Amino acid sequence: MSNRPSHIAIIMDGNGRWAESQGKSRTNGHERGAETVRTMTTFCSDHPEIDRLSLYAFSTENWKRPKLEVEFLMKLLERYLKNELPTYLNGNIRFEPIGDLTPFSKSLRKVIDTVQNETSQCNGLVQSLALNYGGRDEIVRAANALRESGPLSVESLGQALDCPYDIDLLIRTGGDHRLSNFLLWQASYAELFFTNTLWPEFSIHELESIIKKFKTVERRFGGLN
Spatial distance between the Cα atoms of 216 and 212, rounded to a whole number of angstroms:
7
The count of other CB atoms within 10 Å of the CB of residue 23 is 7
Contact 200, 18 (CB under 8 A): yes
Nearest alpha carbon to residue 194 among 2, 20, 54, 14: 14
Spot the catalytic one: 3, 28, 51, 62. Answer: 62
**62 catalytic per annotation:** yes
Q: Report how far residue 92's alpha carbon sits from residue 142's, in angstroms, rounded to the nearest whole number.
A: 29
CA dihedral 114, 120, 122, 125 (to 10 degrees): 90
202, 173 contact by CB (below 8 A): yes
Strand (E) or helix (H) holding 55: strand 52-59
Q: Is the dihedral of CA 225, 171, 95, 43 positive or negative?
A: negative
144 catalytic per annotation: no
Query: Strand pairing of 126-133 and 191-194?
Result: unpaired
Our CA angle for 96, 141, 147, nearest 5°, is 130
Give the residue from 59, 64, 192 showing the smallest Cα distance to 138.
59
Q: Which residues are catalytic?
A: 13, 62
